[in-house]
């Protein structure tokens, strides 16, 4: 295990030019506006401190339960830098992976200040891979991962994000993947930042012909934790199952913008997210199913369910459909509400205390999603963290 070189040291000529161009644009760009639907509901009144970006990695964190229980390869990205210098980076390979769908302050800053996305492909995907993304201080960091799943192969990757201290920081993760024809990707993303970190994660997955994706995301940490996901069903017959579980407390904001773009024919998608908020936390879900004229015979559905556990908490759920084809099946549903009083009464009639009955409701509410997390170690960790949040709030009289 070796330490990565400083920012820009491994840049190919095309990347050096792109980095310089992006850096020249950053000073003229302002923070995104809440007048834009994609940024609505968020508090963006803070300094992203882009002039304090990390130029070298800090000390790596100790292994925790997920890392020690992992059976496969572990790759660490500390403050945006891969600690194994032998890993290929997007800065050295192809510029295509850096292309994105939009330009804003965070996109330009990523292009200017990211050390380069770690590239996983071929033999690196022969066994399950855990990407341990760490933020160690107050600097703004730009971690990146690109997963290239070859045609006809299977891959399993977990991206786990965590903080080393209680310091506040801004993190701008970028996760991209190309899943080849008739390939399969199991991808889990766990956001476990400290409660002072603001994270603006961007993920783009492109699916080839008959390619499959199972994506499970768990949002636990972060003062403001955002995941903007696009799945592009380019190949005919491509399909995806998307699961999400998030739990906010204190004054956390957990923000999800999921866009399913059906381009090929006979594509399928099921999107199912469940969240809970307590104290003064806010959750936001905006989902869009867009079916192009070429997306005939698409089947696509999105569901978002939310629990409100305290009077000061709130949840925004905005599912959308945009259908340009005429031979499709699609739909959406969302709900926001408290725990079920009838279920509580039934459980209490079987001898449970009110607190225990509510704990069982919360556990059962999330199990419908957590049970689909591909890795058992990660699923068990998420279960434990969710119920611990709720039990602690009960003991402190916050719910």
pLDDT tens-digit map of 247-259: 999 999 999 999 9
Dmax over Cα atoms in the chain, in whole Å?
70
Which H/E stretch holds residue 169? none
Residue 244: pLDDT over 90: yes
Which H/E stretch holds residue 170? strand 170-171
Residue 1: pLDDT over 60: no
Q: What is the mean pLDDT of residues 296-301?
A: 98
Neighbours of 39 (CB within 10 A): 18
pLDDT tens-digit map of 116-153: 999 999 999 999 999 999 999 999 999 999 999 999 99
And the tokens for 263?
Answer: 């381009």
Residue 96: pLDDT over 70: no
And the tokens for 178?
Answer: 């190309």
Residues forming a β-bridge with 332? 302
pLDDT band, very low/low/confident/very high, at 282 (cuts 50, 70, 90):
very high
**Integer CA distances (angstroms), 257 to 266, 279, 388, in order:** 24, 23, 26
Residue 350: pLDDT over 90: yes
List for the chain the helix, strand, coil content (%; round to 5): 25, 40, 40
Q: What is the mean pLDDT of residues 85-109?
A: 77
Q: What pLDDT, on a 0 to 100 scale, did the predictor assign at position 313? A: 98
Domain boundaries defined on the chain: 13-339
Q: What is the mean pLDDT of residues 374-397?
A: 96
Q: What pLDDT, on a 0 to 100 scale, did the predictor assign at position 92? A: 78
Q: In terms of DSSP H, where are the helices of the chain?
A: 13-25, 65-68, 105-113, 341-349, 354-370, 376-395
Report the first-to-last Cα separation within the chain, whole angstroms: 46
CA 126 to chain CA mean position, Å:
23
pLDDT band, very low/low/confident/very high, at 15 (cuts 50, 70, 90):
confident
Q: What pLDDT, on a 0 to 100 scale, did the predictor assign at position 13? A: 86
CA 51 to chain CA mean position, Å:
25
Q: What pLDDT, on a 0 to 100 scale, did the predictor assign at position 61? A: 95
Residue 376: pLDDT over 90: yes
Query: What is the chain's mean pLDDT, rounded?
Result: 94
Q: What pLDDT, on a 0 to 100 scale, did the predictor assign at position 399? A: 96
Among 55-64, 98-107, 309-318, the range scoring the smallest mean pLDDT is: 98-107
pLDDT tens-digit map of 20-36: 988 999 999 999 999 99
Q: How far is Cα 210 from Cα 361, in angstroms, rounded to an integer? A: 38
Q: What pLDDT, on a 0 to 100 scale, did the predictor assign at position 174? A: 96
The three-class DSSP label of residue 106 is: helix
Q: What is the mean pLDDT of residues 42-64?
A: 92
Please give, one letter per residue, the 3-state secondary structure of 142-174: CCEEEEEECCCCEEEEEEEEEECCCCCCEECCE
Residue 19: pLDDT over 70: yes
Quote the percentage of the chain above a pLDDT of 90.
87
pLDDT tens-digit map of 155-199: 999 999 999 989 999 999 999 999 999 999 999 999 999 999 999
pLDDT tens-digit map of 76-90: 999 999 999 889 998
Residue 2: pLDDT over 50: no
């Amino acid at each position: 295990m070796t330490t990565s070189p400083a920012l820009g040291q491994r840049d190919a000529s095309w990347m050096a030019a792109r980095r310089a161009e992006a850096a020249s644009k950053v000073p003229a760009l302002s923070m995104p506006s809440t007048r834009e639907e994609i940024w609505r509901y968020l508090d963006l009144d803070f300094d992203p401190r882009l002039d304090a970006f990390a130029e070298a990695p800090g000390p790596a964190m100790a292994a925790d339960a997920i890392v020690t229980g992992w059976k496969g390869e572990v790759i660490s990205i500390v403050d945006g830098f891969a600690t194994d210098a032998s890993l290929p980076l997007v800065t050295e390979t192809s510029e295509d992976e850096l292309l994105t769908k939009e330009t804003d302050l965070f996109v330009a800053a990523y292009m200017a200040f990211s050390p380069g996305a770690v590239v996983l492909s071929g033999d690196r995907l022969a066994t399950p891979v855990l990407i341990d993304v760490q933020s160690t201080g107050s600097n703004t960091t730009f971690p990146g991962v690109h997963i290239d799943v070859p045609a006809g192969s299977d891959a399993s990757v977990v991206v786990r994000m965590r903080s080393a201290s209680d310091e506040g920081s801004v993190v701008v993760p970028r996760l991209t993947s190309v899943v080849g024809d008739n390939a399969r990707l199991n991808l889990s993303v766990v956001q476990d930042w400290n409660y002072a970190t603001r994270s603006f994660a961007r993920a783009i997955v492109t699916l080839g012909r008959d390619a499959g994706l199972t994506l499970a995301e768990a949002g636990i940490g972060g003062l403001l934790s955002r995941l903007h996901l696009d799945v592009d069903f380019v190949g005919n017959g491509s399909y995806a199952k998307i699961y999400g579980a998030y739990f906010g407390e204190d004054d956390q904001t957990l923000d999800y913008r999921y866009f399913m773009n059906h381009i090929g024919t006979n594509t399928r998608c099921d999107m199912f997210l469940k969240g809970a908020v307590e104290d003064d936390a806010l959750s936001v879900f905006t989902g869009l199913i867009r079916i192009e004229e070429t997306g005939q015979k698409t089947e696509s559905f999105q569901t978002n369910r939310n629990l409100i556990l305290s009077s000061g908490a709130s949840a925004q759920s905005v599912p959308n459909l945009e259908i340009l084809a005429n031979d499709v099946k699609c739909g959406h549903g969302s709900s926001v509400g408290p725990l079920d009083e009838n279920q509580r009464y039934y459980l209490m009639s079987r001898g449970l205390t009110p607190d225990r009955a509510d704990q069982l409701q919360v556990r059962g509410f999330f199990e419908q999603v957590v049970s689909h997390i591909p890795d058992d170690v990660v699923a068990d960790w998420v279960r434990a963290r969710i119920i611990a949040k709720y039990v602690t709030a009960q003991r402190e009289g916050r719910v």
